[in-house]
Amino acid sequence: MTHPEAACTVDGMVRWPQFETLDDLEWRLRTRWSEHRSYLTYSRHRHPLNVVDDTTQLVIEAFPRSANTFATVAFQLSQPAPVRVAHHLHAPAQITDAVRRGIPVLILVRHPRDAVTSQVIRSPGISLPAALSAYARFHERAASVRTECQIATFDQVTGDFGAVIHALNRRYGTNFGVFQHTGEAVAEVYRMIDERAREPRLSRAVAAYRSGVIARADLEMLVNGQRKRAAAAVPTDRVARPAEERRGLQQAVRNAYDSPALAALRRRAEDAHREIISPER
């Protein structure tokens, strides 16, 4: 019961129902499981290209709705040759396993108000309490290894991703290509994101490109083949970037985020956010 209209008000307090949707229960269980290494074994069967292994050169991880897709696409667009990247598991276990293996890790961090609001709008079956709890656990676990990782905020990623890659190279002594954060380059990133949403049959090819398995020329050949079909509108519920149609719900969900009923969960999530972005000691 995600949206404020799905909650009820008692004595001026927002109350969520005792029993959530099946989607909400699945989210709670999966996000807890994602803290454990067994989740990586499971994910290798479902999303083999996304999971860290001995071929991985970089891990890009984050809580959902934190510029994950923008970062992975922009990163590969900047490379002269494909780089094997593990990404999009939204799993603390992926971060800790990469650190154990000595693989560079880039963690993207968005403020919980924005990340959680975006997540429950994108996935209406997930409740605000469940999303806040998952946000807190993800960042608390990630913070335990933060000194071994490069941290980048949502604003840094979407405002100057080239500077993020520069910082990554300085930390790890790597030589990854640097994104030129121009209007034209950003438009190209969003074009590729839209192509995947518009044509689901391209999803495997785009996933292979973002993971560094195929080169851009190979992807463009597949995209150009699909362009012979009539262009379809980009489905709002699939596109992994800002969508104007979602903005109408934002204020209502943010009002619910600020409700006294969520004070403890909100405080825990915001504390976790402050901890992970704080300067290294």
**How many H helices and E strands in the chain?**
13, 6
What is the predicted pLDDT for the residue at 220?
A: 85
What is the predicted pLDDT for the residue at 11?
A: 37
What is the predicted pLDDT for the residue at 200?
A: 72
What is the predicted pLDDT for the residue at 227?
A: 56
Q: Which of 217, 196, 175 is nearest to 77 (CA)?
A: 217
Quote the tokens at residue 7.
Answer: 């909650």
The answer to which of 3-12, 60-69, 253-262 has the lowest mean pLDDT is 3-12
Decide: helix, strand or coil at residue 187: helix
Report the 10 Å Cβ neighbour count for 159: 11
Which range among 97-106, 218-227, 236-245 has the greatest average pLDDT?
Answer: 97-106
| Model pLDDT for residues 127-167, shown as the tens digit of each residue | 999 999 999 999 999 999 999 999 999 999 999 999 999 99
C-beta separation of 28 from 133 below 8 A: yes
| Model pLDDT for residues 34-70, shown as the tens digit of each residue | 999 999 999 999 999 999 999 999 999 999 999 999 9
Q: Is 197 a residue whose pLDDT tops 80?
A: no
| Mean confidence (pLDDT) of the chain | 87
Contacts for 268 with CB less than 8 Å, ≥ 6 apart? 132, 133, 136
C-beta separation of 118 from 239 below 8 A: no
The answer to which of 61-65, 113-117, 191-195, 245-249 has the lowest mean pLDDT is 245-249
Report the 10 Å Cβ neighbour count for 154: 19
Q: How many residues does the chain have?
A: 281
**In the chain, what are the domains?**
19-275 (3.40.50)
99 vs 232, higher pLDDT: 99
> What band does 280 get if pLDDT is binned at 50, 70 and 90?
confident
> What band does 102 get if pLDDT is binned at 50, 70 and 90?
very high
Q: Which of 85, 242, 220, 90 is nearest to 165 (CA)?
A: 85
45 vs 200, higher pLDDT: 45
> What band does 279 get if pLDDT is binned at 50, 70 and 90?
confident
Q: Is 229 a residue whose pLDDT tops 60?
A: no
